[in-house]
C-alpha cells in the first residue's frame, strides 16, 4: 500500500492492491479498480430546511494504513446559525476489496433539516445504460441505469444495489440506517447519479431535537471476477468532427441594472454577442433602470436578450408600460424568453397571452422559454407553451457541492443536459444565466435568502481557475450544439469606471481570446485525463490544451509540437515557450502540430 499527499486539489491518494481512492475531509473520491472509476464519491452532509449544505469542520482525524487496509477516523462539526451537529466518521478499506463507511451523528441543538446522512455518487459514464439488481424492503428487482436524464428517482427503497461497471468487476453495495434512493443529478448538470437518504416522498423539513442520534453505514464489496487487462492509452488525439461556438453574452444583475456606457463599449470592442437582461414585470420600480440599460445597449449597437418574469396576477397596465419602453428604445433584440414567477416555467394561459403580445410588437424576434431555474424543473414539466423558437435553462455547478474538483468533474454534465433537452423538446438550446454559485435558491421552503444579491458571484471567478472553468463550459456547450450561452454579472467581469478596484481579471482576458475565434469551428481533443485536461483544435490550425489542476508526472500528449505558447492571464497575451508543462493550472496553444486523428 502507498499513498501520496500531492494529488488533485489537495486530496491524498491511497493505493491498496488493485484499488485506489482519493481522500480529503471525510470525502472519498474516485474509487478505481485498475484505473476504471467505479464510485465517484462517498461523503456526509447536513442539509437545512432550504436545502442549503451546512459547512463541515474537521476537529480531529486519525489515519492508519498498511498493505492490508486503510483506516480513517474523523470527528466533525456541522455548524451554522442555530444548527449544531456533531459526528464521527469511520472508514475502513481492505486489500480484498471491502469498504465500510460509517456515520454516527448527534444533534447538539434543535433545528429543522431536510436531510442528514451519507451520500454516494456513481459516475454517469461508467454506469449509464448498464444492468443492475436492487433489493428493496419488499424483495429483489432488475433494471437499467437510465440513458436519458430521469426526471424523478429511477431507483427507490434501496437496501442492496449490485451492478457490473466492467466485464471484470462486480460491485455490491449495502445501505443501513435509513431508506435510500437514487436521483439523476444530470438534472442539475452534475455528471453523476446520487444515492442518498431520506426519501423525498417523506415530508420535509423535519424538526431534529437535541441529542437525536443518526447512524448510517454504506458497505461495499468489489468483486474482481477475473484478472483485469489494463489498456491505458496515454496518447492525445483530436477528432475531425467540427463544432461551432455558442453565441456568448453577459448578464446584468436584476437587483441592480446600473451599467455604465463604458462597460458596454468594452463589451462591444471584445465582440460579445448580446447582453442578457432579466425583468420582473411586476417590479415597476425598476422600469427606469431597465429603460436606461436598454438605451445604453442600443447606443452601443449591442443586442439584448430579455428574460421576462410574469405572474397570473400581473396587471395589464404594467404590460402596456413595459412594451412602450421596449418600443421607444428602438432596440434590436437578440431574443425574448418568458417565465412564470411561481413555477419558473414557460407555461400557463397568462404566458401564452404575453407571448402573443410580444409577437405583435416584435414579429421577427426569436421567442423562447423553458425554465428560469435548472434543467430539473424543465425535465419535470408536463407541458410548455407551444410555438417556442428555443428552449432554455440556467446553470450553477454548485447546487450540491462546492469544491474545485466537483466544479470540473461536472463540466460533462452540461453536455448531458443540453443534449437531453434538445432531443426531448426537439428544439435548439439556450443556456443561461450561468453562474458559479447559485443566484437563487429555487427549492427553498422558507422565504429567507432565496435570491443572492451578488448574482451567484464566486471569488474563483477572479482567478485563473474560474477562467479555465468558463473555457471548459464553453467547450462542453459547443460539443452539445448549444446556440447561445450567457454568463455571470457584467460588473464582475468588466468593472464600472468609478469602482475602486480596476484590476482586469483572467476571465476578461479569456472571453476576449475566445471571442476572437467565435466564427471558427473546433474539433475536440481526446486524451487519458478526463476532468483534468481539456482541449480542442481551432479550424485545424492550432490546438488549445488547458489543465484544471496540478498533475502527476505521466505524459499527456503524443503529438510533435513545433511551437508552443502559454497564455499569460495577467496581461492577456500568448507568450512563446520552448517547452510546455501541464503540471500546473495553465492554458497552452500549439501551432504547426503533427497529430494523430481519430
- What per-residue confidence (pLDDT) applies to 7? 62
Domain that holds residue 577: 522-594
406 vs 436: CA distance, rounded Å: 12
531 vs 435: CA distance, rounded Å: 19
- What per-residue confidence (pLDDT) applies to 444? 77
Whether 411 and 536 share a structural domain: no
140 vs 159: CA distance, rounded Å: 10
Residues 6+ apart with CB under 8 A from 29: 11, 21, 22, 23, 40, 41, 405
Cβ-count burial of 273 within 10 angstroms (0-12 exposed, 13-18 middle, 19+ buried)? buried
525 vs 545: CA distance, rounded Å: 8
Whether 281 and 219 share a structural domain: no
414 vs 349: CA distance, rounded Å: 31
Whether 219 and 269 share a structural domain: no
E strand intervals along 2-35: 2-4, 12-16, 19-24, 27-33
Tell me 331's DSSP state.
P
Whether 505 and 566 share a structural domain: no
434 vs 439: CA distance, rounded Å: 9
Residue with cell 428555443: 390
Tell me 225's DSSP state.
-
Closest CA to 430 of 421, 439, 443: 421
Stronger pLDDT, 96 or 9, i.e. the higher one? 96
542-547 and 428-434: which strand pairing?
Answer: unpaired
- Is residue 69 included in any domain, yes or no? yes
End-to-end CA distance of the chain: 37
Q: Is the pLDDT score of 555 beyond 50?
A: no
Q: Which three cell numbers stand for residue 439?
A: 443566484
pLDDT in tens, 459-493: 999 999 999 999 999 999 999 999 999 999 998 88
Q: Which three cell numbers stand for residue 226?
A: 477475473
Whether 70 and 119 share a structural domain: yes
3-state secondary structure 282-324: CCHHHHHHHHHHHHHHHHCCCCEEEEEEECCCCCHHHHHHHHH
Residue after which a domain boundary falls, among 191, 224, 257: 224
Whether 261 and 147 share a structural domain: no
Residue after which a domain boundary falls, among 517, 537, 558: 517
Whether 474 and 555 share a structural domain: no
83-94 and 155-158: which strand pairing?
Answer: unpaired
Q: What is the dihedral of CA 498, 501, 506, 507, to 10 degrees?
A: -50
Mean pLDDT of 91-99: 96
Asked whether 368 and 391 are in contact (CB, 8 A), the reply is yes
Mean pLDDT of 181-194: 97
Q: Is the pLDDT score of 27 beyond 90?
A: yes
498 vs 398: CA distance, rounded Å: 31
92 vs 75: CA distance, rounded Å: 15
pLDDT in tens, 578-595: 877 667 788 999 887 665
Tell me 188's DSSP state.
G
Strand partners, 32: 20, 37
Whether 466 and 434 share a structural domain: yes
Look at the chain and report how many structural domains it folds into. 3
Residues 6+ apart with CB under 8 A from 193: 121, 122, 124, 127, 145, 154, 182, 183, 184, 185
Share of the chain above pLDDT 90, in %: 66
- Is residue 512 included in any domain, yes or no? yes
- What per-residue confidence (pLDDT) applies to 445? 72
214 vs 595: CA distance, rounded Å: 56
Place 328 in a pLDDT band, splitting at 50, 70 and 90. confident
Whether 584 and 533 share a structural domain: yes
Q: Is the pLDDT score of 559 beyond 90?
A: no
Stronger pLDDT, 563 or 146, i.e. the higher one? 146
- Is residue 470 included in any domain, yes or no? yes
- Is residue 231 included in any domain, yes or no? no
Whether 496 and 370 share a structural domain: yes
Residue after which a domain boundary falls, among 171, 191, 224: 224
Q: Is the pLDDT score of 232 beyond 70?
A: no
pLDDT in tens, 355-403: 998 888 889 999 999 999 999 999 999 789 999 999 999 999 999 988 8
- What CATH number should be reported for the domain holding residue 63? 2.70.98.10
Q: Give whole-number Cα distances, 59 to 41, 62, 76, 77, 88, in Å.
A: 21, 11, 6, 7, 10
121 vs 30: CA distance, rounded Å: 10
Residues 6+ apart with CB under 8 A from 291: 325, 328, 329
330 vs 307: CA distance, rounded Å: 18
Stronger pLDDT, 78 or 357, i.e. the higher one? 78
- Is residue 394 included in any domain, yes or no? yes
Asked whether 146 and 128 are in contact (CB, 8 A), the reply is yes
- Is residue 23 included in any domain, yes or no? yes
Preceding omega of 205 cis (within 30 degrees of 0):
yes
pTM of this prediction? Answer: 0.93
Whether 142 and 104 share a structural domain: yes
592 vs 564: CA distance, rounded Å: 9
Stronger pLDDT, 528 or 395, i.e. the higher one? 395
350 vs 311: CA distance, rounded Å: 7
The enclosing H or E element of 542 equals strand 542-547
Asked whether 390 and 335 are in contact (CB, 8 A), the reply is yes
Quickly count: other Cβ atoms within 10 Å of residue 71's Cβ: 16
- What per-residue confidence (pLDDT) applies to 522? 94
Whether 20 and 142 share a structural domain: yes
- What CATH number should be reported for the domain holding residue 310? 3.20.20.80
Asked whether 478 and 489 are in contact (CB, 8 A), the reply is no
pLDDT in tens, 435-447: 999 998 888 776 6
197 vs 178: CA distance, rounded Å: 6
- What per-residue confidence (pLDDT) applies to 554? 47
- Is residue 10 included in any domain, yes or no? yes
- Is residue 230 included in any domain, yes or no? no
Amino acid at each position: 500500500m502507498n499513498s501520496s499527499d500531492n494529488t488533485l486539489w489537495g486530496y491524498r491518494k491511497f493505493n491498496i492492491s488493485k484499488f485506489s481512492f482519493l481522500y480529503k475531509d471525510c470525502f472519498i473520491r474516485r474509487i478505481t479498480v485498475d484505473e476504471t472509476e467505479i464510485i465517484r464519491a462517498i461523503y456526509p452532509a447536513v442539509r437545512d430546511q432550504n436545502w442549503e449544505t451546512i459547512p463541515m469542520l474537521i476537529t480531529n482525524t486519525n489515519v492508519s494504513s498498511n498493505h492490508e487496509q486503510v483506516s480513517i477516523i474523523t470527528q466533525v462539526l456541522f455548524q451554522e446559525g442555530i444548527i449544531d451537529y456533531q459526528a464521527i466518521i469511520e472508514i475502513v478499506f481492505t486489500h480484498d476489496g471491502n469498504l465500510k463507511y460509517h456515520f454516527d451523528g448527534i444533534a447538539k441543538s434543535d433545528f429543522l433539516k431536510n436531510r442528514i446522512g451519507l451520500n454516494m455518487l456513481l459516475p454517469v459514464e461508467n454506469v449509464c445504460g448498464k444492468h443492475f439488481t436492487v433489493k428493496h424492503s419488499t424483495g429483489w428487482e432488475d433494471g437499467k441505469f437510465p440513458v436519458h436524464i430521469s426526471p424523478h428517482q429511477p431507483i427507490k427503497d434501496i437496501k442492496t444495489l449490485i451492478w457490473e461497471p466492467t466485464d471484470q468487476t462486480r460491485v455490491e453495495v449495502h445501505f443501513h440506517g435509513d431508506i435510500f434512493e437514487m436521483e439523476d443529478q444530470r438534472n442539475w448538470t452534475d455528471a453523476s447519479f446520487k444515492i442518498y437518504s431520506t426519501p423525498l416522498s417523506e415530508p420535509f423539513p423535519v424538526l431534529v431535537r437535541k441529542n437525536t442520534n443518526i447512524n448510517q453505514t454504506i458497505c461495499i464489496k468489489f468483486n474482481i471476477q477475473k484478472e483485469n487487462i489494463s489498456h491505458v492509452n496515454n496518447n492525445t488525439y483530436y477528432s475531425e468532427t467540427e463544432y461551432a461556438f455558442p453565441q456568448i453574452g453577459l448578464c446584468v444583475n436584476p437587483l441592480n441594472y446600473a451599467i455604465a456606457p463604458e462597460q458596454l463599449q468594452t463589451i462591444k470592442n471584445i465582440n460579445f454577442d448580446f447582453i442578457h437582461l432579466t425583468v420582473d414585470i411586476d417590479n415597476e420600480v425598476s422600469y427606469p433602470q431597465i429603460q436606461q440599460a436598454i438605451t445604453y445597449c442600443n447606443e452601443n449597437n449591442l443586442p439584448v436578450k430579455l428574460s421576462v418574469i410574469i405572474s397570473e396576477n400581473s396587471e395589464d397596465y404594467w404590460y402596456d408600460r413595459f412594451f412602450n419602453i421596449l418600443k421607444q428604445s428602438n432596440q434590436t433584440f437578440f431574443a425574448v424568453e418568458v417565465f412564470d414567477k411561481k413555477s419558473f416555467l414557460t407555461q400557463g394561459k397568462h404566458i401564452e397571452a404575453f407571448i402573443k403580445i410580444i409577437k405583435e410588437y416584435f414579429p421577427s424576434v426569436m421567442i423562447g422559454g423553458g425554465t428560469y431555474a435548472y434543467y430539473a424543473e424543465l425535465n419535470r414539466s408536463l407541458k410548455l407553451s407551444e410555438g417556442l423558437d428555443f428552449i432554455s435553462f440556467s446553470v450553477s455547478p454548485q447546487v450540491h457541492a462546492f469544491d474545485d474538483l466537483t466544479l470540473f468533474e461536472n463540466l460533462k454534465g452540461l453536455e448531458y443536459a443540453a443534449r437531453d433537452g434538445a432531443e426531448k423538446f426537439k428544439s435548439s438550446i439556450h443556456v443561461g444565466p450561468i453562474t458559479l454559485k447559485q443566484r437563487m435558491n429555487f427549492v427553498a421552503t422558507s422565504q429567507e435568502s432565496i435570491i443572492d444579491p451578488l448574482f451567484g458571484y464566486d471569488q474563483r471567478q477572479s482567478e485563473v481557475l474560474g477562467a479555465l472553468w468558463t473555457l471548459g463550459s464553453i467547450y462542453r456547450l459547443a460539443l452539445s450544439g448549444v446556440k447561445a450561452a450567457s454568463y455571470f454579472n457584467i460588473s464582475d467581469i468588466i468593472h464600472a469606471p468609478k469602482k475602486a478596484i480596476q484590476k482586469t481579471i483572467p476571465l476578461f482576458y479569456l472571453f476576449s481570446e475566445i471571442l476572437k475565434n467565435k466564427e471558427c469551428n473546433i474539433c475536440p481533443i481526446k486524451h487519458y485525463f478526463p476532468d483534468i485536461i481539456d482541449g480542442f483544435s481551432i479550424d485545424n490550425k492550432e490546438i488549445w490544451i488547458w489543465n484544471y489542476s496540478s498533475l502527476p508526472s505521466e505524459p499527456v500528449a503524443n503529438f510533435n509540437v513545433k511551437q508552443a505558447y502559454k497564455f499569460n492571464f495577467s496581461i492577456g497575451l500568448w507568450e512563446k515557450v520552448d517547452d510546455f508543462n501541464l503540471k500546473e493550472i495553465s492554458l497552452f496553444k500549439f501551432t504547426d502540430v503533427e497529430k494523430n486523428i481519430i
